[in-house]
Amino acid sequence: MQRSTATHPSPRSRWRRVRTLPLVAVAALVTAGPAAAQDFQLPPLPNEAQVYPALVPVPTPQNDPWYDDPADFAAFANGDVIRSRVVQTYSLGIPIPVHTTQLLLRSTDAHDAPQATATTVLMPGIPWLGPGARPLISYQEAIDSLGQQCNPSYTLRAGLQKEIALIGQFLAAGAAVVVTDFDGKNNTIMSPSEGRMVLDGIRAAQRGGLGLENSPIGLWGYSGGGNSSASAAEQRQHYAPELDIRGSAQGGIPGDKVAIAPFAISGQQPQANFTGWLAILGLAREFPEFDRALQQYLTPEGKQVAEDLRDRCLYTAVGTTFLRPVIDYLTDPDAALAAAHAGLAQASFGKPENTPDMPLLMWHSTTDQLLPAELAITDIAAAYCARGVDMRMFWVPMSEHISAEIVPELGTVAWLLAVTAGADPGPRVC
């Protein structure tokens, strides 16, 4: 997507602008005067891979042979089921009355190499009372984590799924829900492979003998889940054109990763520090240039932080990085961003060849502290509109990142259920 240099400064000049902003929140918390953030040592936090086995009587994926790769990937096409099992879904130790089937399936990474990942299909015990076949909602959780034990195939069984209440709204309406581990076993956050794994998770749900073969499909996701939903919406026509996806509700998306990267690593907003760390570490697992940049430009202390984050889920990752902006652990931020540019561009949205061909409902906070709209999504939304995408864009006023998910939640759920069942998506609003 072409940008005017008069209105959209280069990533390098944007970086210089962001870097000069005062780190007020960090300075207020660090009592060591002018010492760098890495001189302030946070208490060590145990990670979830260490804690969960002691609390939950369900083996983590690292210790569960069910997740093992097949002996021969060539025997499976993308979306084929490798193996399946029936499990129980819990919420904080309380069983949820839905029939739950887990499927291990074949997908591919961003370089077309085969990957095995898991998906979980939740079937409500109530009939679908709407027109046509029972809808299949592909629900993308904001996984935002680097450890396998953070993926929904584990958290749904362990009773730790943080978005279970929202998933429950679709189940209560009689829709089936498929929740895919769209970052795979390597948790390659923000990679284009997210969209592929979402689409292959849907394929597996429809090929798994669960009575969903003819179900119309909808996508829902916010933030990290919005990223994977948007990735699936962009890739469907090339990667899985046979899927009858009738709409995608996708909010809080970090769409332009080239533009958002300088902000994410700057420390300007301490709450956003984790987004910078998780994105660079997740993408480094997918793109060699990211990994080379980390090895070259991370300080020794930065490499220690990266190693500490290796198996963390969202909550302890936020706690670990709150006082640790990535910039303070890079020897040359400009050079590091330049080295990562190709991967960031490949993971960004809005390319003409990936224009979504389904109705979209998009929303974003006008004052998002984690993903400022003018960096994350404004240009991409405008590009979609200019290309005639069947889209409605809702800007959530007087909000921040989390409240911008909750405020329009009921409306987005209702819209997706209606559109998936065959209703008119409404007028385009850009």
- How confident is residue 42, by pLDDT bands cut at 50, 70 and 90? low
One-letter identity of residue 121: V
In a domain, 361, yes or no: no
Cα separation of 123 and 76, whole Å? Answer: 25
Proportion of the chain above pLDDT 90, given as a percent:
87
When pLDDT is averaged across residues 368-389 and rounded to a whole number, the result is: 96
C-beta of residue 185 within 8 angstroms of C-beta of residue 114: no
Count of domains for the chain: 1
In a domain, 125, yes or no: no
Range of the domain at 329: 11-41+257-347
The pLDDT tens digits for 343-352 are: 999 999 999 9
Cα separation of 230 and 350, whole Å? Answer: 10
The pLDDT tens digits for 81-101 are: 999 999 999 999 999 999 999
In a domain, 142, yes or no: no
In a domain, 312, yes or no: yes
- How confident is residue 258, by pLDDT bands cut at 50, 70 and 90? very high
- How confident is residue 24, by pLDDT bands cut at 50, 70 and 90? very low
Contacts of 371 (CB under 8 A, 6+ apart): 223, 252, 253, 254, 260, 272, 275, 364, 377, 401
> What's the pLDDT at 132?
94
In a domain, 327, yes or no: yes
In a domain, 375, yes or no: no
CA distances from 243 to 30, 115, 219, 373 (A): 52, 20, 12, 31
In a domain, 303, yes or no: yes
Residues in a beta bridge with 177: 122, 137
In a domain, 324, yes or no: yes
Pull the structure tokens for residue 209: 């003998």
When pLDDT is averaged across residues 19-42 and rounded to a whole number, the result is: 41
